Amino acid sequence: MNRAFLSLGSNIGDRLLNIQHAVSMLAISDKISVIKCSSFYETEPWGVKNQNWFLNAAIAIDTVFSPIELLNTTQSIEHQMGRNRNNEQRWHERIIDIDILMFNDDIISIADKLVIPHPYMHKRAFVLVPMLEVKPDLIHPLYKKTITELYDELENPEDVFLYGTVLPK
């Protein structure tokens, strides 16, 4: 059995429903068990600022899938939910985004297909804040630091608010 950590985000339509639907689609697989889900967070866009804010969450799963099989499954769910990777620009709005953050403590690089750990996770508050709930003591296999340590070292974190709180104007 493999333990993986995923980040989910949406900034189009009913963002909460989109993430809940994606988690449900993962959970109905007999090859995936959702172990833990973070709260939902309202997050400032990263990379491209002029777009709707995202809703983000992180989950821990157990799976018998290989990393590539898990990637194919997450991309299939994205496609079923209406995401078209061929017609979107990098870091722009999307109905659903499911990223594999970590898979066991494996280090994987398959040219332009899959990089684990996720190459930007250590730079993104919208990934690290939900992961603080899911597994704060998880050790990044490249940096040899916990999620808590990575979060504490962020230099200019984007805004992240617990969903349902009043956002500053």
Domain-located, residue 120: yes
Domain-located, residue 152: yes
Catalytic residue among 97, 137, 152, 159: 97
Return the exposure string of 77-98: e unless at least 16 CB atoms fall within 10 Å of the residue's CB, then b.
Answer: bbeebebeeeeeeeeebbbbbb
Number of domains in the chain: 1
Catalytic residue among 3, 94, 106, 137: 94
Domain-located, residue 115: yes
Active site residue 14: no
Active site residue 105: no
- Tell me the three state secondary structure of residue 91: coil
Q: What is the pLDDT along the chain (169 residues), one digit of tens a residue?
A: 999 999 999 999 999 999 999 999 999 999 999 999 999 999 988 777 778 999 999 999 999 999 999 999 999 999 999 887 666 666 568 899 999 999 999 999 998 889 999 999 999 999 999 999 999 999 999 999 999 999 999 999 999 999 976 655 5
Domain-located, residue 169: no
Calpha distance 78→74 (Å, rounded):
6
Domain-located, residue 128: yes
Catalytic residue among 83, 85, 90, 137: 83
Domain-located, residue 129: yes
pTM (2 d.p.): 0.93
**Domain, as residue range, for 125:** 2-162
Q: Are 25 and 77 in contact (CB under 8 A)?
A: yes
The CATH number of the domain holding residue 81 is 3.30.70.560
Calpha distance 99→166 (Å, rounded):
27
Catalytic residue among 15, 99, 124, 137: 99
Active site residue 97: yes
